Amino acid sequence: MQTQITPSAARTLSTEQAAAALHIKPQTLRAAVCRAGHYAGIRPHKLPSRFLAWPAEAIERLTAGEVA
């Protein structure tokens, strides 16, 4: 049986990993999502465990200087 990968589960980063990549504190990301629903145009996926899963491609584009 072949396992299919959905786009939302392709490559994600935890809040701590995304914050480290962006050189900010994890709470900065959490606060931005709480206040505006996104950080620099990047919207995380909320997991059933209430954690946030950030799309790795969007984080990489932001660190490369591209507009989200």
Instruction: Express each pLDDT in 3-40 by its tens digit.
Output: 444 554 579 999 999 999 999 999 999 999 999 999 99
Q: Is residue 44 part of a domain?
A: yes
* CB within 8 Å of 16: residues ≥ 6 apart: 26
Instruction: Give me the domain span that covers residue 51.
Output: 10-63
Q: Is residue 17 part of a domain?
A: yes
Q: What are phi and psi of 53, to 5 degrees?
A: -115, 115
Query: What pTM was estimated for this model as a whole?
Result: 0.80
Q: Is residue 46 part of a domain?
A: yes
Number of structural domains the chain divides into: 1
Whole-number pLDDT of residue 66: 82
The mean pLDDT value for 36-62 works out to 96
